[in-house]
Amino acid sequence: MATPAINGKKQHTFDAIVIGSGISGGWAAKELTEKGLKTLVLERGRDVKHLVDYPTMNKLPYEFEHRGDIPLKVREANPVLSRANAWQEDSDHFFVKDAEHPYVQKKPFDWIRGYQVGGKSLLWARQTQRWSNYDFEGPARDGFAVDWPIRYDDLAPWYSHVESFAGISGNRDGLDALPDGEFLPPNPLNAVEGHFQKMLAENYGDRHLIAARFANLTKSTATQLAQGRSPCLSRKLCRRGCPFGGYFSSNSSTLPWAEKTGNLTMRPDSVVHSLIYDEQKGKATGVRVIDRLTKETTEYFAAIIFVNASTLNTSLLLLNSTSSRFPQGLGNDNGLMGKFVAFHNYNAKIKASYEGMQEFATFGQRPGSAYIPRFRNLYKQETDFLRGYATGFSATRNLGPNTSGVGETLKANLANPELRSWNVSGHVMGETLPKETNLVSLDRSRTDEWGMPLLNVDVDYDENDRKMETDALEQLTAMFTAAGFTNIKTELMNQAPGLDIHEMGGVRMGHDPKTSLLNGWNQMHAVKNVFVTDGACMTSTSTQNPSLTYMALTARAANHAVEEMRKGNV
Amino acid sequence: MNRRAAIKTALTIATGFAILPRHLRSASGPSVRLTELRISATEEALLAEVVETLIPATDTPGAKELKVHLFVLKMLDDCHGAVDQRAFEVGLRQLDGYAQGLMGKHFADGDTAERENVLTSLERKAGVSPELRAFNRLMRSRAIEGYRESEYVMTHLLPHRMIPAPYEGYYAASNYELQEVL
């Protein structure tokens, strides 16, 4: 593409460039700047400063014109986004509208995006479960994808590193499937969750209910206080941005920390077009940026480049980074870039009532819930499908008024809400198998307003997913029955992939340059100064919410990159 | 609706204006900006009486004073589709004729018991048009929402606590029974 003459290349040269400021990009920025690297962070969306740009954070319910609802015309104009639960009147400004960045659904795929400084780290569900070796050894044991080039021991210290800084609540549960970490006090379980926990222990030796680990501060250690973050006050309004920094986001934590080093340059409104490859040097020397608003092109240069553009955008950007050496996209010698995309299957849901524990209710809100780690096929293959699922579980006892009647009777009822009975619900998070046929690619015949090709998304469920859903609902029904839950209702949501917002893969890690794009340090096999540490790097998906693993992989890769740079290897 | 009822309703609508109390009369539009709903100021005033009947003023303000009727209109206009909107409009227009058929006077002229009886009877299926039933359902749910989430109720009757307290998972259910005065 045409490159305008650049005045002062020096001002456009940094030690490191990080593309993306979401949950992984924020970590890259923090680690690199702490190590003294002058780091440019490029974010395609607008700036969102902690506390300053959270316009709804302290609004009361009656201050919202539609009491939280999104108007119908807006919903109808955004069929994809309208399926995302977290999109509400109070968080509307943090979600990308369907028309803002079009893509091609070869098969139905709900691509939910947050383009702003901080990305989706403002909006995430904040569950932070570690992976175990049952996850890292999964592909090798069960014969799918390729072997992960790392094991739990490689990542464990980095899990600790990010947990201590971010602040993760949890119990030390001592489970093989879900290693313990550096935990703040757990979010409490309630009476019926405690009952279910006991029933599972009595009826099943290998199925456990625990307090899910969450990135909300049940207390602030000196580490979080130094970030200006005080404990979570259980408002459960995280998606608005938190006035206390009570949950972890790039905005509240890693980015201001990076800024304090004096080594950070943040450039919002920067759509990265491609990475620049220098054939002579055999490395990437910089990036081409299109200003989101003016559409002007600029180039920036650095010794190392971290790609954290979000899973599918990372594939899009790298596939678009063509050169005579890499006509199929940067580092894409084997043609596998964009392929082996996978996700989590959130189709299976279950709910029921419970007549017991009437003497107990709950008070207040909490940012957490309960969690049943994977038990299926954990130690050995035991079903006709591969892998397994984790289940999010919660019990609630609502306080609500009788809304029948008219006049003074109704009015009195509305002023006197009554305790309802207990309801319980579970949602299944199934591991899906990365396949070459689940892929993203470029539609070069159509471009967006920044001249970038549209992304074809061609991802679907398979037979393994269907069998797993069925098994999950059968097993949960049996577990609910054993716990004495009644009125059990199961449902298959039939939702498109993507709505889980756990899309992974496309630029996977592996041992072999013939079958993977990245090595065990998230470093491109073919372009050693480029590191990919967002969801695109994932070789398999496990069942655990992936963000914590992205953070740990990023911190590990960034520290490795600095060492390699100092040794003169990149 | 059968033909006789339709004619009766049409006549009522045609003549209704002249005999409505002065405070319900207006030739202008509604007092809240609407883009989809077609509601006259007269109909808006009737809706105010309807929500006031549903949730009346007692020793605390009723729905009319809290402008719950305007909330109902706003939500119908912005957050519902054409099917709900048309049913709501038609149902609202039929309401006064229906009230006259039931109690021999305009809705607004009825006493509390008579008006309450009109709303209660809308819950029954017999003799109530689908539009009136839809109107009643939509009005009820949005009015109850608007009342419960009004600033008055959320600050005076059931104070909303944005920061409630640390979560308690084994909170004695009996504590809620003791909290009659919230």
- The tens digit of pLDDT for each residue in A257-276 reads 999 999 999 999 999 999 99
pLDDT of residue A54: 98
Asked if the model's pLDDT at residue B16 lies above 50, the reply is no
Question: How far A397 CA sits from the closest chain B CA (Å)?
Answer: 10
Across the range A120-135, mean pLDDT stands at 98
> A519 vs A153, A197, A210, A533, B174, CA distance in Å?
16, 40, 34, 11, 59
The mean pLDDT value of chain A amounts to 97
Share of chain A above pLDDT 90, in %: 98
Of B79, B112, B168, the CB nearest to A72: B79
Task: Answer whether A365 sits within 8 Å of B167, measured CB to CB.
Answer: yes
pLDDT of residue B164: 75
- B179 or A121, higher pLDDT: A121
Asked if the model's pLDDT at residue A452 lies above 60, the reply is yes
- The 10s digit of each residue's pLDDT in A519-534 is 999 999 999 999 999 9
- The 10s digit of each residue's pLDDT in A274-286 is 999 999 999 999 9
Across the range A326-330, mean pLDDT stands at 98
Are A443 and A104 in contact, with CB atoms under 8 Å apart? yes
Under DSSP, the state recorded for A540 is: -
Task: Answer whether A234 sits within 8 Å of B166, measured CB to CB.
Answer: yes
Between A and B, how many residue pairs show a Cβ–Cβ distance under 8 A?
Answer: 124
How many other CB atoms are there within 10 angstroms of residue B19's CB atom? Answer: 12
ipTM of predicted complex? 0.92
Q: Which of A234, A363, A399, A416 to mutate to test the interface with B (most CBs of B within 10 A)?
A: A363
Across the range A475-485, mean pLDDT stands at 98
Question: How far B129 CA sits from the closest chain A CA (Å)?
Answer: 20
Q: Which of B34, B64, B78 to mutate to test the interface with A (most CBs of A within 10 A)?
A: B78
> A391 vs A180, A209, A210, A369, B128, CA distance in Å?
18, 9, 11, 11, 47
Of A399, A411, A417, the CB nearest to B55: A411
Find the closest chain A residue to B165 by CA distance. A364
- The 10s digit of each residue's pLDDT in A218-242 is 999 999 999 999 999 999 999 999 9
Q: Give the pLDDT band of residue A174 (cuts 50, 70, 90).
A: very high
pLDDT of residue A233: 94
pLDDT of residue A421: 93
Across the range B95-102, mean pLDDT stands at 96
pLDDT of residue A7: 53
Nearest to A22 by CA among A329, A429, A314: A314
pTM: 0.93
- The 10s digit of each residue's pLDDT in A241-255 is 999 999 999 999 999
- The 10s digit of each residue's pLDDT in B128-173 is 999 999 999 999 999 999 999 999 999 999 999 888 778 999 999 9
Across the range B97-111, mean pLDDT stands at 95
Q: Where are the alpha helices (DSSP H) in A353-443?
A: 407-414
Of A62, A188, A190, the CB nearest to B151: A62
Contacting residues for A441 by C-beta, under 8 A, at least 6 apart: A319, A338, A455, A456, A458
Asked if the model's pLDDT at residue A1 lies above 50, the reply is no
Question: How far B152 CA sits from the closest chain A CA (Å)?
Answer: 9
Task: Answer whether B173 sits within 8 Å of A194, measured CB to CB.
Answer: no
Place of tokens 């029954």: B124
Q: Give the pLDDT band of residue A9 (cuts 50, 70, 90).
A: confident
Task: Answer whether B163 sits within 8 Å of A234, measured CB to CB.
Answer: yes
Across the range A41-57, mean pLDDT stands at 98
